Amino acid sequence: MSVALVLFQDNLRLADNPALTAAVESGHAVLPLFVLDNETPGRWRLGGASRWWLHHSLAQLANGFEERGSRLILRQGATTAVLQQILDDVDVAGVYFARGYAPWSPALEDGLKKLCDTAGIDCRRYGGHLVFEPEAIKTQSGNPYTVFTPFWRACQAADPPAQPLPAPKKIESPAAWPKSDRLEDLDLLPQGVDWTAGLVDAWSPGEGGATQRLNTFLKSGMGHYKDRRDLPAVDGATSRLSPHLRFGEISPRTIWWRTRDRIAKQPETAANGMHFLRELAWRDFSYHLLFNNPDLPDVPLKDNFAAFPWAEPDHKMLRAWQQGKTGFPIVDAGMRELWQTGYMHNRVRMIAASFLVKDLLIHWREGEAWFWDTLVDADIANNSASWQWVAGCGADAAPYFRIFNPVLQGEKFDPGGAYVRRYVPELSKLPDKFIHKPWEAPEDVLQAAGVALGDTYPMPMVDRKISRQRALDAYETIKKSA
Give the residue numbers annotated as catalytic, written as ranges. Answer: 279, 282, 310, 346, 364, 387
In angstroms, the CA 231 to CA 227 distance is 8
**Entry field: residues in the chain:** 482
State the CB neighbour count (10 A cutoff) for residue 238. 21
Closest CA to 127 of 40, 297, 252: 252
CA atoms within 13 A on the CB side of 441: 23
In angstroms, the CA 100 to CA 8 distance is 11
Beta partners for residue 126, in sequence order = 98
Closest CA to 72 of 204, 190, 207, 209: 207
| Coil vs helix vs strand at 31 | strand
Closest CA to 243 of 10, 423, 42, 19: 10
In angstroms, the CA 412 to CA 233 distance is 12
In terms of C-beta density within 10 A (0-12 exposed, 13-18 middle, 19 or more buried), how is residue 178 classed?
A: middle
In angstroms, the CA 471 to CA 259 distance is 41
The answer to whether the CB of 115 falls within 8 A of the CB of 87 is yes
Closest CA to 94 of 119, 128, 130: 119
The answer to whether the CB of 92 falls within 8 A of the CB of 119 is yes
The answer to whether the CB of 308 falls within 8 A of the CB of 401 is no
Beta partners for residue 33, in sequence order = 7, 73
In angstroms, the CA 78 to CA 80 distance is 6
In angstroms, the CA 260 to CA 474 distance is 45
